[in-house]
Amino acid sequence: MQKIKEFSKKYLFGFVLGMLTAGVVVYAATYFPSNQTTYDNSDSGMTSTNVQDAVDELYEVCKPTLAEEIIKNAGLEKDPYECRYFFTGADPNNYITFNNETAGWRIISAECDGTIKIISRNDVGGGYWENLNHIEEVLQNTDLTANAKNQIVSHDWNAGTVTDNNNDLAGQINDENSSKWSNQKIGLITVSEFLRTHSDKNNCQTVRKYNYYSCYQTSWLGSDETYTINRSSGYSSVYLINRGLKTTFTDDDGYGNPLQTHDFLPVVYLSSSVQITGGDGSENNPYQIQ
């Protein structure tokens, strides 16, 4: 939608004139072949000079962003804490084909900057969570096609420390947002994002209340295993999704025992310029994009 705002501000008069002109030409096209009907479109700020090109160009200008399409198609409600729209529940229709993997990724959220945030269903191997640089090294193992690399954008990731036993989701989000892992193309999900995938908002959307025996069943991500991007505040540990939300040590368990390794599920932001070409988001008919 930013594209529309900038366009309208700069070319408001010309745009309206172009719309009227295109309307007349489209009407005329019922009598004349579109490739033979031309007109002067110089005042509109657009380049088309025939009916078909005018229709195509106007459609391009008015085309919704990827996030807007997802929000509309899925009927998502705005998050009460941020300008974002989350998929919640045990199995919503948030499957998407990306990187030549049919239904191989799922949509976490639609963002107000027009992008969508997606997470892979396939891990890039087990390992230790040591620091953000180490995460970057691990996630570089994500095998992306050339087309997939062109469809993702660099983004800032909310990597702030999560306060243990936090019972205030808004405060937790602020804590996560206080530290940025900037301009990265691949990252991990945050703790608050995971909590907001749960349909049980009363019992499963804060760290303190979270009971993995019951809560993991109310989230489409609850049964998967992946590190989050957020450390725990009280110990040398990081939050882990594994049949719910837990913490796991990152450096030393304090007792001389070897650390356990866990999976990394890559997360990326798809560009707002990507377009949906088919699908309804179900596992058998995932969203198709180009």
**Domain boundaries of the chain, sorted by first residue:** 2-62, 66-278
Handedness of CA 120, 126, 130, 133 (dihedral sign): negative
In sequence order, the β-bridge partners of residue 268 are 118
Which pTM was predicted? 0.79
- For residue 197, the Cα-to-chain-centroid distance in whole angstroms is 13
Query: In 10 A of CB 24, how many CB atoms?
Result: 12
pLDDT for 89 equals 97
From first to last of the 290 residues of the chain, give the pLDDT tens digit.
454 444 444 444 344 444 444 444 344 344 444 556 666 665 555 566 676 666 555 555 568 999 999 999 999 999 999 999 999 999 999 999 999 999 999 999 999 999 999 999 999 988 888 889 889 999 988 999 999 999 999 999 999 999 888 899 999 999 999 999 999 999 999 999 999 999 999 999 999 989 888 898 999 999 899 999 999 987 788 999 998 899 888 866 666 566 778 999 999 999 999 999 999 999 999 999 99
Give 201's contacts (C-beta < 8 A, 6+ positions apart): none
Smallest CA-to-CA distance from 59 within 46, 73, 72 is with 46
Q: How many helices (H) and strands (E) does the chain have?
A: 9, 15
Tokens of 90: 């045990």
pLDDT (0 to 100) of residue 72: 96
Q: Which amino acid is at 144?
A: L
